[in-house]
Structure 1
Amino acid sequence: MGCASSSPSSSKRAKRAPGYEEPAVLAAQTAFTVNEVEALYELYKKLSVSIVKDGLIHKEEFQLALFRTSKGANLFADRVFDLFDLKRNGVIEFGEFVRSLSIFHPKASVADKTKYSTT
């Protein structure tokens, strides 16, 4: 009665990472199902706060996830990070993460995989 409270959906949105995109939208644009996208979001959240607690995956966090170290230059990690950083802004947002991983999905087309490997 007269007490203003936020709805459950708005409180969920407040906790989402910058660059968050709805699982249904990402599932429609990738080879993943909605459930797979939701599972990827849980993984993304863990990776995105492993060093810098801002909800975005930085190059050091990406390298830490791949090689269990964020120290030292790694040309392979740098190249893969650059492939995931579709906006070229130095961080990987959730949508970029899902779209990039989709290339490795068994249902992704060979044409898409070939195009991705030559970029």
Structure 2
Amino acid sequence: MGCFQSKTNKDTPGYEEPIILAAETPFTVSEVEALYQLFKKLSSSIIDDGLIHKEEFQFALFRNRNKRNLFADRVFDLFDVKRNGVIEFGEFVRSLGVFHPDAPVEDKISFAFRLYDLRQTGFIEREEVST
């Protein structure tokens, strides 16, 4: 794990040890370490504070677009498990886990459902689908 265990990493908001995240997600420890490198890059693209803000998330997905995107907003909101307006490293890894080929199908279905359940009512209403 080498330099991954540095004091700087542990001071990162929401930092969690790769071995713990690997145990709780479909990722291996080395994949979690690689995700940390991606996380660091994304979380410093606009505001260098060790957190991914909505603007940074949008920028990562749509580099050449200036307008907001409902899909990206919804995905960001699902990644922001703590509902504090930013994505921490642990949230990032756990949320990306749903896209891993070895993630349970039930988790993928749940994520897709929550993506379209805009009002969080437990139902996908006609208006939400058209939006």
Which residue in 1 is equivalent to 2:33? 38
Q: 1:58 to 1:77 in 2, by over 3 A?
A: same
Please tell me the residue identity of whatever aligns with 1:55. G
Task: Name the Cα RMSD after superposition.
Answer: 1.8
Q: Deviations over 1:58-91 (max 9, x none)?
A: 0000000000047322111111100110100000
Which residue in 2 is equivalent to 1:5? none
Residue 66 in structure 1 maps to residue 75 in structure 2: no
State how many pairs are aligned.
Answer: 111
Of 70, 74, 78, the match for 2:73:
78
More moved, 68-77 vs 41-50: 68-77
Which residue in 1 is equivalent to 2:7? 13
Q: Decide which structure has greater helix share.
A: 2
Alpha-carbon distance, 1:43 to partner: 0.3
Structure 2, unpaired ranges of 5+: 115-131
TM-score (norm 1): 0.86
Residue 99 in structure 1 maps to residue 85 in structure 2: no
**Greater RCO (Cα-Cα under 8 Å, separation 6 or more):** 1
CA distance, structure 2, for counterparts of residue 94 and residue 49 of structure 1:
13
Runs (4 or more) in structure 1 with deviation over 6 Å come to: none
Residue 29 in structure 1 maps to residue 24 in structure 2: yes
Structure 1, unpaired ranges of 5+: 1-7
Percent identity, aligned pairs only, is 67
Q: Is the 8 A contact 2:9 2:15 kept in 1?
A: no
